[in-house]
């Protein structure tokens, strides 16, 4: 494929000095490039399309038709059912419970983890002390350790403190396991700020917290947004911690979704399942589509996510 790209590109270059004809917009090279890009785009878009289409069909239509065809008769019944009536175990109050649980988990977890990590990053960038780099290295290596290794010790720690199975416990878990990537993000950001700013503030008499609140925090808004996006999507999408560290009453949306869709009882209602799936993906997708540029920047900045 690269060969094709190359030969066409070279032809274009060789043609140029001769000046026989102006370059056409639809060159062979462009056809190949856009063709491949569109082909890939098709693969990426397809599932979203199928999800939406399926969720708008009635079950009879699904059983008869094919999953790619648009709905003949649009119905929002599956959405209502997914939100308010779908069953997990004995509860039949739909995904709404999981949604509110997820909100309850995500909001404080995002805030706490960002506050803690921004202070960490600031201290690591500007107030190094003996051993600070060592702790940071452990933290970063820790980001790559499979969670399974630290799962049970974490259960014991939370149980000892007495917050196992509570919302507080889950917030702690998200703060702890989100710490490596966020700390790295903030450390790199604060390191990239001119060191002289920090020095000037010290000469002006500001201390650790003074510089953090008056100088660094107001300058950290862009990276805060990046961290926020990273954490909202990450925590909302979490499944493992939700299962391990909470009781069924607090199960986040992802866990409830899985229970609804993969439950073995009853008739499979694919349209309801897909509506539920979209509903669960809606929050991170909304964050993604609204933040666009920042999302990409967050990923590029924190390219070391574990």
Map the footprint of another protein across residues 25-64, applying CB under 8 A: 29, 33-34, 36-37, 40-41, 43-48, 50-51, 54, 62-63
Choose the stretch contacting another protein; rule: CB under 8 A; options: 80-88, 90-98, 103-111, 210-218.
210-218
Question: Residue 135 has which token pair?
Answer: 């702790």
109 vs 233, beta carbon nearer another protein = 233
- Under the binding rule (CB under 8 A), the answer on residue 199 touching another protein is yes
Binding residue for another protein, selected from 74, 92, 107, 145, defined by CB under 8 A: 145
128 vs 247, beta carbon nearer another protein = 128
The distance of closest approach from Cβ of residue 32 to another protein in the complex, given in angstroms and rounded to an integer, is: 9
Among 241, 271, 269, 270, smallest CA distance to 254 is for 241
Give dist(CA 109, CA 227) in Å, integer.
Answer: 12
- Under the binding rule (CB under 8 A), the answer on residue 102 touching another protein is no
Give dist(CA 32, CA 29) in Å, integer.
Answer: 5
The distance of closest approach from Cβ of residue 83 to another protein in the complex, given in angstroms and rounded to an integer, is: 16
Beta carbons of 118 and 186 less than 8 angstroms apart = yes
Beta carbons of 225 and 287 less than 8 angstroms apart = no
Give dist(CA 107, CA 246) in Å, integer.
Answer: 16
Q: Which of residues 163-182 bind another protein (CB under 8 A)?
A: 175-176, 179
The distance of closest approach from Cβ of residue 203 to another protein in the complex, given in angstroms and rounded to an integer, is: 5
Q: Which of residues 246-285 bind another protein (CB under 8 A)?
A: 254-255, 257-258, 261-262, 270, 273-274, 277, 280-281, 284-285
Give dist(CA 193, CA 195) in Å, integer.
Answer: 6
Beta carbons of 133 and 191 less than 8 angstroms apart = no
Binding residue for another protein, selected from 116, 163, 224, 225, defined by CB under 8 A: 116
- Under the binding rule (CB under 8 A), the answer on residue 203 touching another protein is yes
The distance of closest approach from Cβ of residue 69 to another protein in the complex, given in angstroms and rounded to an integer, is: 9
Choose the stretch contacting another protein; rule: CB under 8 A; options: 81-89, 93-101, 162-170, 296-304.
296-304
Binding residue for another protein, selected from 76, 91, 200, 213, defined by CB under 8 A: 200
Choose the stretch contacting another protein; rule: CB under 8 A; options: 70-78, 92-100, 159-167, 298-306.
298-306
- Buried (b) or exposed (e) across 138-170, using 16+ Cβ within 10 A? ebbeebeeeeeeeeeebbebbeeeebbbbbebb
167 vs 281, beta carbon nearer another protein = 281
Among 258, 277, 272, 259, smallest CA distance to 62 is for 272
21 vs 63, beta carbon nearer another protein = 63
SS3 165: strand
The distance of closest approach from Cβ of residue 188 to another protein in the complex, given in angstroms and rounded to an integer, is: 11
Q: 271 CB contacts (<8 Å, ≥6 apart)?
A: 54, 55, 56, 57, 58, 59, 62, 75, 77, 78
């Amino acid at each position: 494929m690269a060969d094709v790209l190359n030969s066409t590109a070279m032809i274009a270059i060789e043609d140029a000095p001769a000046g026989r004809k102006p370059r056409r917009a639809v060159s062979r090279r462009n056809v190949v490039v856009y063709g491949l890009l569109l082909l890939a785009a098709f693969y990426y878009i397809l599932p979203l399309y199928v999800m939406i289409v399926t969720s708008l069909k009635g079950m009879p239509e699904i059983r008869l038709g094919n999953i790619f065809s648009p709905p003949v008769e649009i119905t929002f019944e599956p959405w209502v059912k997914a939100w308010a009536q779908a069953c997990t175990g004995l509860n039949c109050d739909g995904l709404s419970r999981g949604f509110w649980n997820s909100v309850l988990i995500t909001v404080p977890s995002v805030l706490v983890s960002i506050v803690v990590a921004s202070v960490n990053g600031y201290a690591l960038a500007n107030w190094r002390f003996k051993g600070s780099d060592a702790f940071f290295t452990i933290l970063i290596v820790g980001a790559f350790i499979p969670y399974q290794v630290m799962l049970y010790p974490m259960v014991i720690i939370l149980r000892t403190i007495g917050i196992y199975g509570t919302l507080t416990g889950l917030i702690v878990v998200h703060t702890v396991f989100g710490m490596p990537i966020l700390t790295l993000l903030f450390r790199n950001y604060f390191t990239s700020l001119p060191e002289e700013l920090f020095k000037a503030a010290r000469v002006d008499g500001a201390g650790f917290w003074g510089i953090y609140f008056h100088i660094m925090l107001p300058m950290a808004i862009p990276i805060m947004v990046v961290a926020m996006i990273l954490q909202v999507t990450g925590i909302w999408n979490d499944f493992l911690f939700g299962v391990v560290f909470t009781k069924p009453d607090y199960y986040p949306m992802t866990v409830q979704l899985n229970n609804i869709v993969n439950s073995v009882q009853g008739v499979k209602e694919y349209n309801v399942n897909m509506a539920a799936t979209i509903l669960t993906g809606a929050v991170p997708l909304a964050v993604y589509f609204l933040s666009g540029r920042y999302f990409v920047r967050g990923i590029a900045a924190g390219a070391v996510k574990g």
